[in-house]
Structure 1
Amino acid sequence: MKKIILVAGATGNLGKRISKALIEKGADVRAIVRNSTDSDKIKALEKIGVTVLQIDMSDSDAIATSCEGITCVVCAVAGLENVILDLQKNILEGAIKAGVPRFIPSDFCTDYNNLIAGENRNFDLRRDFKTYIDGTSIQTTSIFNGCFADILMYNTPILNVKEKSIGYWGDNADWELDFTTMDDTAAFTAEAALDDTAPRNLQIASFQVSPNMIYDHIKQISGKDYKIHQMSSLEDFASHIKRQREENPAGKNELYANFQQSQYMYSMFTTQHTELANNRYNNLSWTSSLDYIKIFVK
């Protein structure tokens, strides 16, 4: 008998990939979307085999009805407090009302459990939801994928192809950063959603790569020597982030405010995934750092 998985946030980049991966693994996939959702996004989900249910997402009874017969709810929603806390709580309440046994929250980020509260606003929201869901009886699995590998393509300080530079904070250019591609994250999440024995926390990374390793990869791929340099000490970076936040109070309402982007970078150089669950599912293949960088560096 097919397992029925419900995905919230299925119209998003990650949510659609998770839905597709679940279908490829033989699951029956439902998606709950707002009544106002663009029809083209709904058609795109239906085209890959997803059953789409348009509902009032503020109505936990409507969510509960959509959750009847569901074995696991996967949340791939993105946003600030009104989404990560308020919306997810509504979805959770509906799932519990319907007797859904398992829930995967929107924790697709670095494992924040060993980080200091207050250092990353978006992690703090997820930490608050963790406290809330752990007070319920539903079986929960958080998937921590580090940083999505896509950022390497967009000329961030860590790797700027346009300026041919590689930057790092702190004093260790051999510090390995956790990156996972969206496709790898989706494939692993699909496996976990179908795995009734999945534990509370699962750390993954397509690859762990240091600034020095990035330099070596680019040299191998292109023959070019990129400038590798320290951006600042971690202490100075933390002070810079504090000033950014104070100087832009309106940023508290922006999902990717400048200070939040800096907070993400800071977290990458202050914690690592040390208990990777990559081998939990034998049929998965993982993208290497060299193969990924080859996609956009010539």
Structure 2
Amino acid sequence: MLVLIAGITGNLGTRLAKAATSRGLQVRGLGRDRTKLDEKRTGIIESFVTSQTYYDIPALETAVKGVDAVICAYSPTAILDLEGHLLLFRAAERAGVTIFLASSWGHPLDKISFGEYEHYDTHIAFKQQVAMTSSVKPVFMNVGIFADLLYGPFGPGGWDTTGLNPIIEYWGQGNKRKIHWSELNDVAEWTIDILQSKDVQAGKGGIYQMQSGASTLEEFAATWTKVTGEEVHLVHRGSLEDLESLVYTAPR
């Protein structure tokens, strides 16, 4: 089985390639810089196609030619999540590829309304456009937050580690809610498991949900303290209504 991994030189792409090659699958890579590929980490790949831009159609056509499946592991930017994602999908569709794993790792798209969370708007738009215009049924994965983002400004509570002690801000009862998260190596292994499943091989697509763990902000804070010895301050900033008002009045 020959699998194209678009974005193979990224954090997830590298792990996906390693998981695939370790199981005897052939892997082709698509990316902008061949020199960033470390085959000691990914395993030996079949070939690498260099794409100058996300809209490099000749490169996309070359990359999808003859492959059995496509995994989109582009960097999570608004342009790549929608425009780049859709161009890759159309190239695969034209080449007759019926197995397409979408760049959807995160929270369940069917539980988020368009406009509710800006980052997911592009993913929702991609999912809806493909559903309305193609017979190919992509695979979508829900894994929560990537573990390497948990203790940073984009993690739950927006961790601030610039002061003497880390600070986590939360609104409402956010300190009690479980945050679903997954480690990147787990995500890569699950992706290849799903790729090789009977339903996906039959072109049925589908939505798959899994996670490495689920923790509250208080549990994250306790883990940080246990590992680093630093006390974490949990700061309650107000109600959910206060947060909503803050979002609507924030400069754009």
TM-score band by shorter chain is: 0.7 to 0.9
**Which residue, 168, 173, 180 being the options, matches 2:175?**
173
The equivalent of 1:243 in structure 2 is 249
The equivalent of 1:185 in structure 2 is 187
**Which residue, 8, 11, 22 being the options, matches 1:10?**
8
Contact map agreement 1:80 1:125 (CA 8 A) in 2 = no
Residue pairs, 1:88-103, within 5 angstroms: 88-103=85-100
More displaced, 58-67 or 124-133? Answer: 58-67
Output the CA distance in 1 between the equivalents of 2:223 and 2:79.
41
Output the CA distance in 1 between the equivalents of 2:174 and 2:106.
22
The equivalent of 1:29 in structure 2 is 27
Output the CA distance in 1 between the equivalents of 2:175 and 2:82.
36
The equivalent of 2:50 in structure 1 is 54
Sort the Cα spacing of 1:213 and 1:39 in 2 relative to 1 into closer, same or farther, 3 A. Answer: closer
The equivalent of 1:253 in structure 2 is none
Sort the Cα spacing of 1:163 and 1:112 in 2 relative to 1 into closer, same or farther, 3 A. Answer: farther
Sort the Cα spacing of 1:220 and 1:63 in 2 relative to 1 into closer, same or farther, 3 A. Answer: closer
Matching of residue 231 in structure 1 with residue 237 in structure 2: yes
Sort the Cα spacing of 1:81 and 1:24 in 2 relative to 1 into closer, same or farther, 3 A. Answer: same
More displaced, 168-177 or 7-16? Answer: 168-177
**Which residue, 203, 208, 211 being the options, matches 1:202?**
208
Superposed displacement of residue 218, structure 1:
5.0
Matching of residue 125 in structure 1 with residue 122 in structure 2: yes
Q: TM-score, normalised by structure 1?
A: 0.71
Contact map agreement 1:62 1:94 (CA 8 A) in 2 = no
Output the CA distance in 2 between the equivalents of 1:130 and 1:24.
30
Q: Secondary structure at 1:139's aligned position in 2?
A: coil
Output the CA distance in 2 between the equivalents of 1:87 and 1:45.
25
Contact map agreement 1:31 1:53 (CA 8 A) in 2 = yes
For residue 43 of structure 2, what is the amino acid of its counterpart?
I
Output the CA distance in 1 between the equivalents of 2:81 and 2:158.
27
Sort the Cα spacing of 1:59 and 1:38 in 2 relative to 1 into closer, same or farther, 3 A. Answer: closer
Contact map agreement 2:8 2:14 (CA 8 A) in 1 = yes
Superposed displacement of residue 45, structure 1:
4.6
Output the CA distance in 2 between the equivalents of 1:113 and 1:192.
19
Superposed displacement of residue 163, structure 1:
1.5
Superposed displacement of residue 82, structure 1:
3.0
- Kindly, what percent of the aligned residue pairs are identical? 23
Residue pairs, 1:153-168, within 5 angstroms: 153-154=151-152, 157=157, 159-160=159-160, 163-168=165-170
Per-residue CA deviation, residues 12-49 of structure 1 (Å, 9 max, x unaligned), is 1111211111111221001122xxx334214x258731
Number of matched pairs: 240
- Unpaired runs of 5+ in structure 2? none
Superposed displacement of residue 178, structure 1:
0.8
Contact map agreement 2:22 2:43 (CA 8 A) in 1 = no
Output the CA distance in 2 between the equivalents of 1:218 and 1:79.
26
Q: Secondary structure at 1:96's aligned position in 2?
A: helix
Output the CA distance in 2 between the equivalents of 1:5 and 1:167.
42
Contact map agreement 1:110 1:145 (CA 8 A) in 2 = yes
Sort the Cα spacing of 1:242 and 1:95 in 2 relative to 1 into closer, same or farther, 3 A. Answer: same
Output the CA distance in 2 between the equivalents of 1:64 and 1:39.
18
Output the CA distance in 2 between the equivalents of 1:59 and 1:48.
26
